[in-house]
Amino acid sequence: MEKISPKILKKFSPLSVISEDELSDLLSAAILEFVAEDEILLLEGDARKNLYFVIEGWLKAEKISPEGRQQTLRFIGPGEIINELAVFLNEPASMTVIAMEKSQVMILSQARVEDLLLKNPKFSREWIKSLALRVKHLLNHVENLSLYSVEARLARLLLDEAKDGVYQRPSWKTQSEIAAQLGTVLDVINRNLQNLQKQGIIEINRTEIKILDVKKLEALSRR
């Protein structure tokens, strides 16, 4: 396999706690792969049990309803790992992963990882942490979906992701994507965004959303 910078590898927390030897052993069997924009990396039901480490680029994991509506479960960027459930529970992939932009992933086989899990407790412990974190995010997601309105969820998204009052959005983060992430549809998001803008709380343009009135936005995030 071509070289991957150690700096990038350190971003994967389970990999950051193992020895050099263990790491190079793991990587010896790794495969690097590119995924083109809109390409499906993993299809729900896929029975191949590999782990995918995102080296660069952004992807999304989603579920699709019979009617074609989609719920984005998370956006996945560099340093994040895909398909853990399938590997740890030894069952087919539970969701579909699609590349939002050209991305690069490193593929590791289930066997290699299982092996190291039993050999190095620190590795396991770190993975427990990473799964616990996933649980935490999902709990938050559930709470949002069931207890808060679309407006509040949108407000939270903006507050959470904004740096210095500005929510920079990558070109692939369209209003449709925001809708899928918040568990609703494009139209509703658009109307809510327009509303917020009319009230002078935010300012929207193609590449970013500026938060003009944090206080008001925070108030809305609690309704």
Partner DNA sequence: TGCTAAATTCGATAATAGTCGATGACAGAT
Partner DNA sequence: ATCTGTCATCGACTATTATCGAATTTAGCA
The conformation of residue 205, written as its DSSP 8-state character, comes to -
Subset of residues 65 to 94 that bind DNA, contact rule: CB under 7 A: 67, 69
Using rule CB under 8 A, residue 73 touches a second copy: yes
User: Do residues 37 and 101 make contact, with C-beta atoms less than 8 angstroms apart?
Assistant: yes
Binding flag, residue 81, a second copy (CB under 8 A):
no
Is 96 in a helix, a strand, or coil? strand
Q: Which of residues 12-31 bind DNA (CB under 7 A)?
A: none
- Residue position matching structure tokens 């407000």: 155
Q: How far apart are CA 101 and CA 68, in angstroms?
A: 22
187 binds, among a second copy, DNA, none (CB under 5 to 8 A by kind): DNA
Site residues (CB under 7 A) for DNA, limited to 177-196: 183-188, 190-191, 193-194
Edge-to-edge strand ranges of the sheet holding 96-99:
40-42, 96-99, 59-64, 70-76
Rule CB under 7 A: which of 124-163 touch DNA? 149-151
Stretch that binds a second copy, among 96-104, 126-134, 155-163, 200-208 (CB under 8 A): 126-134
| Rounded-to-integer distance, Cα 4 and Cα 15, Å | 13
CB of 171 to a second copy, least distance (A): 25
Beta-bridged to residue 90, according to DSSP, are none
Report the length, in residues, of the chain: 223
* 148 touches a second copy (CB under 8 A): yes
Q: Which helix (H) or strand (E) holds 210?
A: strand 208-211
**The two structure tokens encoding residue 33:** 């792969």
**Residue ranges in contact with DNA by CB under 7 A:** 67, 69, 149-151, 171, 174-176, 183-188, 190-191, 193-194, 204, 206-207
- Binding region for a second copy (CB under 8 A): 63, 65-66, 69, 71, 73, 84-85, 88-89, 94-95, 117-122, 124-125, 127-129, 131-136, 138-139, 141-143, 145-148, 183-184, 222
